[in-house]
Amino acid sequence: MFARTSTWTGSPEALQHWSEHAASTVKGFVQGLPGNAGVVFLIDRAGGTALTLTLWETESAAEATDRFAEQSRATTVAATGAELVAQGRYEVVPGT
């Protein structure tokens, strides 16, 4: 299994919009992509950051959806005012 992350920052208002957008738009979009194994949204309101974590059945499934990830990130920035500050790719350790 593989994971993709997006780290966000923003004002309290931007992060509120981010959380609403994540739940109403991004979640269903990601879950509909081939090979998706889950999606989690985390927010640290006091710290002014948020994290999107998507899980993929295989590395090739994660790579095949890269262009959709870029589209989703751009849409999220435009819709919420949150700023994308980092992106990551990880192999999920077996047994976790």
Q: Which tens digits make up the pLDDT trace of 3-61?
A: 999 999 999 999 999 999 999 999 999 999 999 999 999 999 999 999 999 999 999 99
Model confidence at 66, pLDDT cuts 50, 70, 90, reads confident
CB 52 within 8 A of CB 41: yes
Six-digit token pair at 89? 């790719």
Instruction: Give me the CATH topology for the region 2-89.
Output: Alpha-Beta Plaits (3.30.70)
Percent of the chain predicted with pLDDT > 70: 99
Please give the DSSP secondary-structure letter assigned to residue 46: T
Domain ranges of the chain: 2-89
Model confidence at 76, pLDDT cuts 50, 70, 90, reads very high
State pTM to two decimals: 0.90
Nearest to 54 by CA among 77, 37, 75: 37
